[in-house]
Amino acid sequence: MKILRTPDARFANLPDYPFDPHYTEVPDGDGGTLRIHHLDEGPRDGSIVLCMHGQPTWSYLYRRMIPRLTAAGLRVMAPDLVGYGRSDKPSELKDYTYQAQVDWLTAWLEANDLKNATLVGQDWGGLIGLRLLAEHPERFARAVAANTGLPTPNRVPKAVAQDVREFRAQLATPTLPEMMQALSRPDPAHPGRAFVYWQVYNWNTPDAPVGGIVAGSVAGPSGRSLTAQEVAAYDAPFPEPRYKAAVRAMPSQVPSLPDDPSLPANLRAWEALERFEKPFLCVYTDDDPVSRGGQLAFIERVPGARGQAHRQFDTGGHFLQENRDEDFAHAIIDLVGSP
């Protein structure tokens, strides 16, 4: 496995990101090691909040929330997934699988010996984080699922699955505007096609404008505009296209068809979640085209979600850490502080 490491100079003087880096070496699964970066802010004896980001962001996403959480006495640990942020970046598309990300973060979790932690997972941070929670429930005291899910496409109708396969095989690489429009306006006659645009665009675009994609997702109809410096900060981990293998590969790793290799592990994870009685909070936005309505499965199936003060915001977009940072932080603080 060939590993790339973003030069430290790329992370100098980023706006609102004064945090010191911390690193953990974990096995790469190929006989070598990977260096995973994380933030560790707040009092050492504070209750740990594990903030996990998704695609195509990094721990910079939580910069507006961290001061609010630490001011409440919480200790925030925010890792960068392998391939993102200041973490190492395997250079080949084939290096990235759902299971590999779970394995790498499991090794990180155990090396740092997290206990009684509160999981906060958004986007891929939820797909991976909920697997950690299900496989190591003894390390977690509670969880927050935010604009995320744990896909188990075993019940996708055969006709829909076949339509998605055929559409993926014949779809020409969309432009960025075409991809963004497809995500924001899915075709009700063809469920599943919208996400194919995202998968095909990323897989076939070696130098996707990461900062621009995040900025476009944040702005939305009612979101805020990222500054040029903030956009550059989201681009910072990727000095060259060859650093973007994770950005390209991970959308295609989201389980979406019944023959997905991650399906058995996710089904086992759901079995564990259906026994999870510790507090489980959902924080979702109605205008997120990716995960809208995803909280319903957790509220119905996870015992710890019953009776919780779930948050459902009209607006906030996919990256609610940018548009709903105060509300999101308060939801976490209220949960951790509850009996």
Catalytic residues: 123, 288, 318
d(CA 14, CA 75): 22
Helices first, then strands: H and E counts in the chain:
13, 10
Give CA angle at 229 (84, 55), nearest 5°: 25
Tokens encoding 271: 């079995």
Task: Provide Rg for the chain, Cα atoms.
Answer: 19
39 close to 18: Cβ distance less than 8 angstroms: no
- Measure the CA dihedral 116/285/81/129, to 10°: 40
Measured from the Cβ of residue 169, the count of other Cβ atoms closer than 10 Å reads 9
Residue 306 φ/ψ, nearest 5 degrees: -70, 130
What sign does the CA torsion over 252, 256, 262, 268 have? positive
| Diameter over CA atoms, the chain | 54
d(CA 184, CA 28): 36
What sign does the CA torsion over 103, 107, 109, 113 have? positive
d(CA 61, CA 324): 12
CA distances from 224 to 68, 215, 217, 220 (A): 19, 9, 10, 8
28 close to 103: Cβ distance less than 8 angstroms: no
